[in-house]
Structure 1
Amino acid sequence: MLALVATVVWSGSFVATRDMADSVPPVQAVFWRWVVALLAVAPFAARAAWRQRALIRRHLGFVSLASLFGVALYNTLVHQAGLTTSASTMGMIMAASPVLMALYARIGGERLGARRTFGLLLAAFGVLLLVGDGSLGFDFAAGDLWMFAAALSFATYSALLRRKPEEIEGPVFLLTTFVLGALMLAPAYGISLAVQGGFEATAGTVGPLLYVGVFSSAVAFFAWNKAVSLIGAARAGVVYYLQPVCVALLGFLLLGERTGPAELLCMALILGGVTLGARR
C-alpha cells in the first residue's frame, strides 16, 4: 500500500513536471522542488537529525550517494525529459525501473521466485506494448532517452535503500538527502540563473512546485523508502508498474487524452503482472 501511494503521487508529478516545462528551467524547478521538500520535512525531522548528527557523519558517503541518485540526478533527468516528451510517455518509460530493480535484487542474492518473475515479465511486456503503441517497434525522442537514464538512476537509488543504516530514522534520512541534494544542485542552479534568468512566480509555476515539493518529494519518498524497507526494492518495483496506468487515467481526467482498446489491453497485462508479482 505504501508503494502504491508513492506510485500514484509520482504519477501526478509527471503531469506537473510537463506543465512547468515551458515556464521553469529544469534545474531551477528541481532545486526549488527540494527546497520546498526540505522545508516540509524539517519540522518533523530537524530535531532528530541534530540528535543523530554523529551517525549521519559516520555514514555520510552512503547518504551522499543516495542523495546523488535519488534527489539530484533522478529528478533533474525527469525535468529535462519533460522539455521534449509527453507526461504519458514519461510515466510509461519510468515503468522500466522495476526490471532494473529486480536485476539489482538478483545480483544482491535475493530470490525472486517463479511467480514474481513471471509477473514482472508480464507487466514489462505490457509496458513495452504501451510505449510502442501496440507494437514492439520504437522511435525514441531525446526526452525518451533522458527518461531511460532517469529510470536507471531511480532503480539505483531504490537498490541503495536496502543498505540504509537501520539506526538512521526515516524522516532524518529524508531530510539529510534533501539538504545534500539541494546543495549538489546549487552550482547548476546558479549557472542556470545567470544564463537563462529566473522564472515568474505565478499560480501556474508555484502550484506545481508545491505539489512536487510537498507530495511528490516529502510524502511519496517517505512512503517509497518505507515500502522498500518492508518488502524490498524488487517487490515494491512490481507495484511501480501501475504508474503508466495511473498516468493514463490522470491524462484522461486532466488533459482529455483518450485511451483506446490497445491501451486498455496493455493496462490489463500490467495489472495482471502486478497482481502476480506483488503477492507473497
Structure 2
Amino acid sequence: MSLITARHPTPVVTRKPAPSRGAGFGVLLALLATVVWSGSFVATRDMADSVPPVQAVFWRWIIALVAVAPFAARPFWRQRKAIRRHFGFVALASLFGVALYNTLVHQAGLTTSATNMGMIMAASPVIMAVWSRLGGERLGVRRVLGMLAAVIGVLLLVGKGSLAVDFGAGDLWMFAAALSFASYSALLKRRPAEIGGLAFLFVTFLLGALMLAPVYGVSLAVQGGFTAGVATVGPLLYVGVASSAVAFFAWNKAISLIGAARAGVVYHLQPVCVALLSYALLGERLGVLGVACMVLILGGVALSSATGARGAA
C-alpha cells in the first residue's frame, strides 16, 4: 500500500500597495531646501553692498567644499572613474547649478529686493515642469492649474497689483537665475546611478569653484577685496554651509525621490518664506496686496501638491 501525500498549494495573500514613504520624505527634503534657500536670499541681499557678487559666490563654494569634504571625499575618490566617464554631465550640472545660478542671484541682489528675488524664483518650477514634460513626464491638470495660480500670484506681487510688470535690471538677473536653476534641477533626474549624492555634491562644488576662480581673480584686481567681519563672514557661512552643503544635498535627494516637477511645486513656497524673512530681518513690507498674493501662491501649491500626493501613492 502506497502512501500518497498531496501537497496543497500555498495560499497567496494579496496586499494593497502601501503608500510610498519615499514620496513623503522627498517632499519634506524639498521643503527643507526651500526654507533654507529662502534665508539665503535675505543673506545675499544683506551683504550685497559689502561683498562683490563673484567674490561672495566663490567663497560660498570654498566654504561648502570644506563643509562636505569630511563626508564626501572618500565616496568621491571611490567613484572617480564613474565621474570621469560622465564628466560632461557633471561639468554641465556644475555650470548651471553652482557657477551660473548663484552668481546671477548675487548680481541680482545689487539692484532688487530680497522679496522680489524670492518671488521671481517662483518661476523656476514652471520651467522645471516644462523640461519634465519634454522628457515625457505627465503633469496632470490640477498640477498645471496650481502652478499657474502660484505664478499669477507672484506676478501680481511683483507688479504691485498689475500683471503688466515692468522689471528692473535686478529682476531680469533673477529670471536668468531661475532659468539656470530649473535647468540644473532637470539635469538631476538624469544623474548616473553610479555617482552617489555626496560624491556628486563634492565634484560639482569643486568644478563650480574652479570655473569661478578666473573671474574671482579679475574681480579682486578690479574691485579689490572685502573686509572680513561679522557683517560679511556670518552671511557667507550661512550660504556656504546651510544654503550650499545642506540645502543642495536635500534638494538633490528630493529630486531623486519625487522628480523635478513635483519638487518644483514645493519650491513655490519659497516666495512666501522669503517675504516673511525679509519683513522680519530687513524691514521689507508686503501690505494687504502682498498677503493676498501669498494666499494665491499657497493655494496654487496646495492644489498642485494634492495631485502629487495622489500620484505618489
Corresponding residue to 1:73 among 100, 116, 120: 100
2:128 aligned with 1:101, yes or no?
Answer: yes
Match of residue 140 from structure 2: 113
- The aligned runs of 1:1-280 (5 Å cut-off) are 1-279=28-306, 280=309
In the alignment, the residues of structure 2 paired with residue 192 and residue 81 of structure 1 have an alpha-carbon distance, to the nearest angstrom, of 17
In the alignment, the residues of structure 2 paired with residue 151 and residue 274 of structure 1 have an alpha-carbon distance, to the nearest angstrom, of 18
Q: TM-score with structure 2 length normalisation?
A: 0.88
Q: Radius of gyration: which is bigger?
A: 2
8 A contact 2:36–2:242 mirrored in 1: yes
Q: Percent identity?
A: 77
In the alignment, the residues of structure 2 paired with residue 23 and residue 251 of structure 1 have an alpha-carbon distance, to the nearest angstrom, of 18
> Aligned Cα RMSD in Å?
0.8
8 A contact 2:122–2:271 mirrored in 1: yes
Shift of 1:112: 0.2
8 A contact 1:98–1:234 mirrored in 2: yes
Shift of 1:259: 2.7
In the alignment, the residues of structure 2 paired with residue 65 and residue 278 of structure 1 have an alpha-carbon distance, to the nearest angstrom, of 30
In the alignment, the residues of structure 1 paired with residue 163 and residue 240 of structure 2 have an alpha-carbon distance, to the nearest angstrom, of 35
8 A contact 1:236–1:278 mirrored in 2: no
Shift of 1:257: 2.6
Q: TM-score with structure 1 length normalisation?
A: 0.98
**C-alpha deviations, 1:170-207, integer Å up to 9, x for none?**
01100010000000000000111111111111111110
Equivalent residue letter for 2:166: D
In the alignment, the residues of structure 2 paired with residue 124 and residue 196 of structure 1 have an alpha-carbon distance, to the nearest angstrom, of 37
In the alignment, the residues of structure 2 paired with residue 49 and residue 151 of structure 1 have an alpha-carbon distance, to the nearest angstrom, of 29
In the alignment, the residues of structure 1 paired with residue 280 and residue 46 of structure 2 have an alpha-carbon distance, to the nearest angstrom, of 15
8 A contact 1:239–1:274 mirrored in 2: yes
8 A contact 1:161–1:228 mirrored in 2: yes
8 A contact 2:115–2:284 mirrored in 1: no
Structure 2 unaligned spans of 5+: 1-27
Give runs of ≥4 in structure 1 deviating > 4 Å: none
**C-alpha deviations, 1:5-26, integer Å up to 9, x for none?**
1111111101111111111111
Shift of 1:278: 1.8
Structure 1 unaligned spans of 5+: none
In the alignment, the residues of structure 1 paired with residue 302 and residue 76 of structure 2 have an alpha-carbon distance, to the nearest angstrom, of 38
In the alignment, the residues of structure 1 paired with residue 193 and residue 149 of structure 2 have an alpha-carbon distance, to the nearest angstrom, of 34
In the alignment, the residues of structure 1 paired with residue 259 and residue 89 of structure 2 have an alpha-carbon distance, to the nearest angstrom, of 18
8 A contact 2:118–2:270 mirrored in 1: yes
8 A contact 2:30–2:263 mirrored in 1: yes
Equivalent residue letter for 1:148: F
**C-alpha deviations, 1:55-86, integer Å up to 9, x for none?**
11111110000000000000000011111111
In the alignment, the residues of structure 2 paired with residue 277 and residue 225 of structure 1 have an alpha-carbon distance, to the nearest angstrom, of 20
Match of residue 10 from structure 2: none
SS at structure 1 position matched to 2:116: helix
Shift of 1:140: 1.2
